[in-house]
Amino acid sequence: MNGPAIHTDALTKRFGTLTAVDQLDLRVERGEVFGYLGPNGAGKTTTIRMLLDFVRPTSGTSQVLGGSGADPAVRARIGYLPADLPVDPRWTAQTLLDFYGDLRGRRDRTWERTLLDRFDLDPSRPVGELSTGNRRKVGIVQAASHRPELLILDEPTSGLDPLLQQEFLILIRELVTDGATVFLSSHVLPEVEALAGRVAILREGVVVAQAGITELRRTARTRIDLRLTVPADPAPFAALPTVVEATADGDLLRLVVEGSVDAVIKTAAALPVEQIITHEADLEDVFLSYYTTQDGGRS
* pLDDT tens profile 37-95: 988 889 999 999 999 999 999 999 999 999 999 999 999 999 999 988 888 999 999 99
Q: What is each CA distance from 8 to 26, 32, 199, in whole angstroms? A: 5, 16, 15
Spell out the residues 6+ positions from residue 128 whose beta carbon is closer than 8 angstroms to its own. Answer: 89, 90
Residue 223 is predicted with a pLDDT of: 87
pLDDT, position 187: 79
Kindly report the number of other CB atoms within 10 A of residue 159's CB atom: 16
Inter-residue contact 167 to 137 (CB < 8 Å)? no
Question: How far is Cα 233 from Cα 238, in angstroms, rounded to an integer?
Answer: 9
Which domains occur in the chain, in start order?
Answer: 6-217 (3.40.50.300), 221-280 (3.30.70)
pLDDT score, position 1: 58
* pTM greater than 0.85 (yes/no): no
CB 181 within 8 A of CB 151: yes
pLDDT-flagged residues of the chain (< 50): 294-299
Distance CA 278, CA 217 (A): 14
The pLDDT value recorded for residue 86 is 87
Dump pLDDT digits (tens) for 133-161: 999 999 999 999 999 999 999 999 888 88
Instruction: Supply φ then ψ for residue 127, to 5 degrees.
Output: -60, -35
Predicted local confidence at residue 297, as pLDDT: 39
